Amino acid sequence: MATLTLKSWPFPENHEAELVWFGSPFMDYKGNWRIRVAFRTSAEGIKVVSYPWGTIPYLRIGQIYSNGTYDQITPMSGSAFQFTIDAFNHGTVTNGFKLPKRLIDFGKIPELGLQNIIQYQTNGLTYCIPVIELIRAMLINSRYLAYYLLQPHGLDLLIDNSYSLGKTLHLDLSNRVPAKLATDSNVRHLSWIYSDPMIRSLWDSVYQNMFIQAVKSSPYNPSSSLKKGVPLNIDLPSLGSIEMHTRGVQFIDYVLVKEIIAIGGFQHPSNEILFWHPSKKRREWSSGDKTIRMIPGSKNTDYVLNDQSDNAKEDSNQDILETSPTIMRFANYPVVETRRSSVRHSNTGNEVFVSTGRGGKHAAASEEVSTHDSMVGGDTPPIDFQTLETIPASEAIGLELFFQMIEMLKKKLTVNVRMSVVRVPPGRRFSVCMNGSRRTCAIIQVTNGASTSYIVEVARPVDWSISTLILRPMNQLSFRIIERNIKQLLDGLVLKSGHWDQSVLNQCDTMNIEKLKHYQSDTIREWASRLASKLMT
């Protein structure tokens, strides 16, 4: 599981820092968009650092960093909350200072408290969603979308041609869309933003509100306001009922949403999408010799963010880093087909090996990458992010009942819960659910007094028979060792095609590992009771 290390890191070595909030996006003196990010350590309090705006799809409130690196296995602050918003446009936009201080303390940094949140009241609770998190989850699942969001008419630059015939949308993507992100899931998402008038108005409102505020602050020189930074704001369209699965924290009747894990209730305007991208070519075969280039493999799959680069290079084969998934559910699920017009010729004859030449993207390229906007002549290889999975409304992410059970467990036991949702490693059919989305896994840290346990639950959208794992470190293990063990277990799970590998379980000899079976006859209350009895023994 690849990681991204933030090179500009202001904290001492091995000190853990939690990402607690975001400031305003702003333009630096080079004209590049950046975002202020607030971290907190127990020793030094809050420090605000800025990174390229294109990094935002990778960042989540609650992430724990050490030496500038966040590992997705690390459970984050907060636990699961599921709720339904009756009317999307009935939210109240306010600022962070209106939140109870017990939910978040901005450490006397006014800019952090001035960031906008949207409040929704449902079932006696007030859910507070940071505007920047709602924008991330709904609109910017990748670096390139982040930058086009902050350009006037940026969305039009991604679409070369679009028209509808009945319920079929014909969509030609421009070469500004990275080839590796011209996927069915991303096409459903991008075409939804582009062709649904209300979602398009939501997208447009982000830049419009920012520019209007900049003009109000500096009528004769709005760019000076953009360089200082403007809190993001949006106009809420009338979308009707929206369902959310989130990670958050609660104080009395207020819930602060730190991450939107899944969001649904949307209707795509089309039933079928026929799309084209410059990288999509029809393959024709001939009998000539097949040339195979021998390229040395990359020494590692980890990246270091060079946030001081001027611009990222243009690269049609840029690397893609998977990060915490966001699930988007559509009530209707458009079928996506690819139109292939140009031709790629391939030979089927004898294999001829050669060892010279780059053969496309050089596998030995520097590990330093950039999340700045790409341009010809840029100085650093780019990295983009894969975050979004679009699925039908009828397809669950497979963890909903587990999250409900954990909430019930919190009422049975006085415990502190932290959680992360990750994709299981690729490599086997089990890694992908029947709807084509990557299978997910929840990692829960449960602290009861001085005792800490870890619960690993693999998503079972089709009631796959796999037990819950309960991990108990025997001694005071560093979390790096625990992370390594959990990664071993997940790798073994995939290699065993969806079953826990007993030989790998035996290798994790620094932890006691128990399995908790699923029973179809169990109610959520019974499931929580069985888990509670395991944790208390």
Residue 214 has pLDDT above 70, yes or no: yes
CB of 141 closer than 8 Å to CB of 326 = yes
Instruction: Label residue 345 by pLDDT band (50, 70, 90).
Output: very low
Out of 34-38, 130-134, 336-340, pick the least confident: 336-340
**Quick one: the chain helix, strand, coil %, rounded to 5?**
25, 35, 40
Out of 92-101, 110-119, 258-267, 283-292, pick the least confident: 283-292
Residue 287 has pLDDT above 50, yes or no: yes
pTM score: 0.89
Determine the distance from the C-alpha atom of residue 510 to the mean position of all C-alpha atoms in its chain, rounded to a whole number: 31
**Which residues, at least 6 apart from 298, have a Cβ–Cβ distance to it below 8 Å?**
363, 364, 365
Residue 485 main-chain phi, psi, to 5 deg: -65, -40
Average pLDDT of the segment spanning 480-488: 87
Task: Return the higher-pLDDT residue of 211 and 7.
Answer: 211
CB of 12 closer than 8 Å to CB of 66 = no
Out of 89-93, 291-295, 379-383, pick the least confident: 291-295
Residue 521, number of CB atoms within 10 A of its CB: 5
> Bridge-partner residues for 447, per DSSP?
416, 452
Instruction: Label residue 298 by pLDDT band (50, 70, 90).
Output: very low
- Bridge-based pairing of strands 168-173 and 272-276 is parallel
Instruction: Label residue 292 by pLDDT band (50, 70, 90).
Output: low
**Which residues, at least 6 apart from 72, have a Cβ–Cβ distance to it below 8 Å?**
1, 3, 323, 324, 420, 422
Residue 315 has pLDDT above 60, yes or no: yes
Instruction: Label residue 133 by pLDDT band (50, 70, 90).
Output: very high
Report the pLDDT value the prediction gives residue 247, as an integer from 0 to 100. 95
Amino acid identity for residue 234 in this structure? I
CB of 293 closer than 8 Å to CB of 359 = yes
Residue 442 has pLDDT above 50, yes or no: yes
Helix (H) or strand (E) run with residue 534 in it: helix 524-536
Amino acid identity for residue 259 in this structure? E
Report the pLDDT value the prediction gives residue 350, as an integer from 0 to 100. 58
Determine the distance from the C-alpha atom of residue 265 to the mean position of all C-alpha atoms in its chain, rounded to a whole number: 19
Exposure letters 267-297 (e unless 16+ CB within 10 A, then b): ebbbeebbbbbbbbeeeeeeeeeeeeeeeee
Residue 44, number of CB atoms within 10 A of its CB: 13
Average pLDDT of the segment spanning 76-96: 92
Structure tokens at 265: 């209730």
CB of 36 closer than 8 Å to CB of 47 = no
Instruction: Report how far residue 316's alpha carbon sits from residue 262's, in angstroms, rounded to the nearest whole number.
Output: 30
Structure tokens at 500: 């826990």
Residue 57 has pLDDT above 80, yes or no: yes
Going by the DSSP 8-state scheme, the letter that residue 89 receives in this structure is: G
Residue 248 has pLDDT above 50, yes or no: yes
Instruction: Label residue 449 by pLDDT band (50, 70, 90).
Output: confident
Instruction: Report how far residue 460's alpha carbon sits from residue 466's, in angstroms, rounded to the nearest whole number.
Output: 8
Strand ranges, E, within 143-271: 159-165, 168-173, 242-251, 254-266
Provide DSSP, 300-350. -S-EEE-TT-S-EEP-TT-EEEEEEEEEEEESS--EEEE---EEEEEE-S-
Average pLDDT of the segment spanning 62-72: 90
Instruction: Report how far residue 373's alpha carbon sits from residue 359's, in angstroms, rounded to the nearest whole number.
Output: 25
466 HSE (CA, 13 A, CB side): 23
Structure tokens at 328: 């988007």
Residue 294 has pLDDT above 80, yes or no: no
Residue 296 has pLDDT above 50, yes or no: no
Of the candidates 385, 323, 459, the one whose C-alpha atom is nearest the C-alpha of residue 180 is 385
**Alpha-carbon Rg of the chain, whole angstroms?**
24
Structure tokens at 331: 């009530």
